[in-house]
Chain A
Amino acid sequence: MLVETVQTSGQLGANDQELIGRMLAGDEDAFTTLYRRRQAPVYRFALQMTGNVVVAEDVTQEVFMALLEHARRFDPQRGTVASFLYGIARNLVLRRLEKDRHTDSDEGLDDFPDDVDVLADLTRQETVEQVRRAVLSLPTTYREVVVLCDLQDASYEDAAAALDCPVGTVRSRLNRGRTMLAQKLAGSAPPKKTLGMKVLRIGA
């Protein structure tokens, strides 16, 4: 589970659930604290799912607007506040992706040159962007698990609560997602596979 720096000193010790309680009682500081604590993971989740900063910004705003309106629906028995927010974000992201189906295409994955030593040519940033494109090219079912568990460092339990599926499903989807990602990064042809390994050694 992600724990970020709390910026509002007055609510420093309060956990997310307490903050929701205070927020419902009309405490603006509690809402601000909760927002500052949770907005970045939500924003990054939306960004890594869509690859679009404008959509990520919209989704983040809509997630917290939904929290303002439906905070009473949060049930601590079903999961943490983080998973509750991820769940809302996921629904909003899927709605956006449904509108823009082209995000599921494999565009950009053939950018690996296969006749030169990319280790010398690619910068770290380029590698990051290639990984980002590979993640974005995953089917949404696998992408959301990879983003949550590998990029957002969410626990399997939180991911399961956010995605409304059993933990076992999260594990199997994550495994399958990583396999697909490895294939996409390496490329299906043998030269690309070799190249993909070289690219990854940059960050090693």
Chain B
Amino acid sequence: MSDEQVRRALQMLAVADRDQAAPPAVEERLKLAFRRQRKILVWKRTAIWTVAAAAAIVGIAVLRDAKPKQYAAPVISHLQPPAPGQSVVKPPEVQHVVVSNAPKRPRAPRVQPQAPREVVTEFFPLVDYAPPFERGELVRMRVPASTMRAVGLPVREDRLTDPVQADVLVGQEGMARAIRFVSYSQSNRTGSVLERGE
């Protein structure tokens, strides 16, 4: 069988299948998936802009409050060796005084209120492409819980507006680059808004 005959046979098959296509139900399912994904995208963008705006405001406030540091001028002392015959005042000798011989009572251990231990998540990037990171600031702020959902963390639907603590990494150009969320081991503020597993 020649190559030409094979081509013709394949052409017949191609022509026979010319009108084959996926059923309309596939298109409908994909449209639904597209809308669902777009909704998530809108949430994400809103949260990112909220965080970025908040970070920018905080950054500006921090920069305004920052005062240039005053460095004290170095003190230069000119000490001369005493001249011959000049009286030199000696410093008084230190006397050791025993206050008491009574045995010391052991001190009761001071009970300090235990500060809640801070637990932080990993950093989630807020921008896809950013200039190389040189220096930046970590700004702690309160953001809506929807921000957590925007970076992929599960948040219950009824807690989306709850405030949560977050550290926003602001780069040298003032751009919010990454975010991490803060919770406390005693009062798990961040965890309280997380969606429970099904």
Contact = CB atoms under 8 A, between A and B. Distances in A.
Nearest to B5: A200
A-side interface size class: 35 or more
Nearest to A28: B34
Contacts of B22: 39-40, 42-43, 56-57, 60-61
A32 B9 contact: no
Interface in B1-43: 1-3, 5-14, 16-17, 20-23, 26-27, 29-31, 33-35, 37-38, 41-42
B150 to A, nearest CB: 15
Interface in A54-109: 56-57, 60-61, 64-65, 68-69
B33 A65 contact: yes
A68 B30 contact: yes
Contact of B5 (A65, A68, A124, A197): A197
B1 A193 contact: yes
A interface secondary structure, majority: helix
Contacts of A40: 20-22
A148 to B, nearest CB: 11
Interface stretch (A9-17, A110-118, A162-170, A177-185): A177-185
B17 A35 contact: no
Interface string A33-52: 00110011011100110000
Interface of A: 26, 28, 31-32, 35-36, 39-40, 42-44, 47-48, 56-57, 60-61, 64-65, 68-69, 124-125, 127-128, 131-132, 134-135, 146, 150-153, 178, 181-183, 185-186, 193, 196-197, 199-200, 203-204
Given A68-B30, A150-B14, 17 more contacts: A26-B42, A39-B26, A42-B22, A47-B20, A56-B22, A61-B30, A64-B26, A132-B13, A181-B6, A182-B3, A182-B5, A186-B1, A193-B1, A197-B5, A200-B8, A203-B12, A204-B5
